[in-house]
Amino acid sequence: MSYVFAVSWLQEGPFALRRWAALFEDLPLFIQSFFYTIGLSIGALIIAFILGVIIGISSAANNRFIRTLMRIYVEFFQNTPLLIQVFFVYYGLPLVGIILDTYTTGILCVGLYHAAYIAEVIRSGIGSVNKGQFEAGQSQGFSYWETMWYIVLPQAINPMLPPITNQVVNLIKNTSTIAVISGADIMFTANSWSSFNLNYVPAFATAAFLYFILCFPLTKLSTYLEKRNKEAYTR
């Protein structure tokens, strides 16, 4: 009886060989979605990093009005779900005549969302630098932005690297939200392919593996950077 069950399970169960054979036949679809996700992540990261640096530096400015504006941006994006932001941009903006394709929507939404988190990392890194460094820059005639760029940020970059790397990992994983608007990313491909043939286990196992390939090296890099920083401060 157990033998019959085992044979039946291998033929029709979630791990049936025919399901994996079907996956390997359509593997190019998953590889294509893998590179789509990489492109989406790179585009979003560029937006997140540039905007995050600007907002982070501005958040430490002496101008209260600017600090308030930056705080509003950070609080809004950190306290509203990325999924709602994606729906708003993709389905809401066309109502006022602004139509964006799925790929552009993904880059924009994920980038703006993670800019808020990177901005907080930048702000915390700036806060870790002794205030005397600001005064030294100003005494040499540097402007606020010149002081930040040439004096403060070079000193703050080491403690900022581990959390920024973690944000990159989170950004890559959050690109999966684009599946809800039919973006051709890893998650959408796994979901649509498995819905067609009911091979859910191979589809989502492959999706998990592809995300792992992207995120695991960055996670190890973050751990290494954090360990290196701790060793530097304990010497």
Has residue 25 been placed in a domain?
no
Residues in the chain: 235
Q: With contact defined as beta carbons under 8 Å apart, do 151 and 142 qualify?
A: yes
Query: Rounded distance, CA 159 to CA 17, Å?
Result: 48
Q: How far apart are the first and last CA of the chain?
A: 66
Which tokens belong to 127? 């806060």
Query: Which secondary structure element, helix H or strand E, spans residue 190, and what is its range?
Result: helix 186-197
pLDDT in tens, 121-177: 998 888 888 777 777 777 777 787 788 888 888 888 888 888 899 999 999 999 999
Has residue 9 been placed in a domain?
no
pLDDT in tens, 60-117: 888 889 999 999 999 999 999 999 999 999 999 999 999 999 999 999 999 999 999 9
Has residue 116 been placed in a domain?
yes
Q: With contact defined as beta carbons under 8 Å apart, do 186 and 30 qualify?
A: yes
Has residue 20 been placed in a domain?
no
Tell me which residue range forms the domain holding 39: 33-229
Query: Rounded distance, CA 88 to CA 90, Å?
Result: 6
Please tell me whether the overall predicted TM-score, pTM, comes out greater than 0.85 for this model: yes
* 75-82 long-range contacts, CB within 8 A, separation 24+: 76/116, 77/112, 77/113, 77/115, 77/116, 78/116, 78/117, 78/120, 82/109, 82/110, 82/113, 82/174, 82/177
Decide: residue 219, CB within 10 A, 0-12 exposed, 13-18 middle, 19+ buried. middle
The proportion of the chain whose per-residue pLDDT surpasses 70, expressed as a percent, equals 91
Q: With contact defined as beta carbons under 8 Å apart, do 115 and 51 qualify?
A: yes
Cα–Cα distances in Å, from 120 out to 40, 116, 175?
23, 7, 20
Alpha helices (H) along 128-152: 131-139, 144-147
Number of compact structural domains in the chain: 1
The proportion of the chain whose per-residue pLDDT surpasses 90, expressed as a percent, equals 53
Q: Is the per-residue pLDDT at 194 higher than 50?
A: yes
What CATH number should be reported for the domain holding residue 173?
A: 1.10.3720.10
Has residue 235 been placed in a domain?
no
User: Quick one: which of 117, 105, 90 has its CA closest to 171?
Assistant: 117
Has residue 39 been placed in a domain?
yes
Query: Rounded distance, CA 228 to CA 222, Å?
Result: 10
Please tell me which residue, 78 or 20, carries the higher pLDDT value.
78
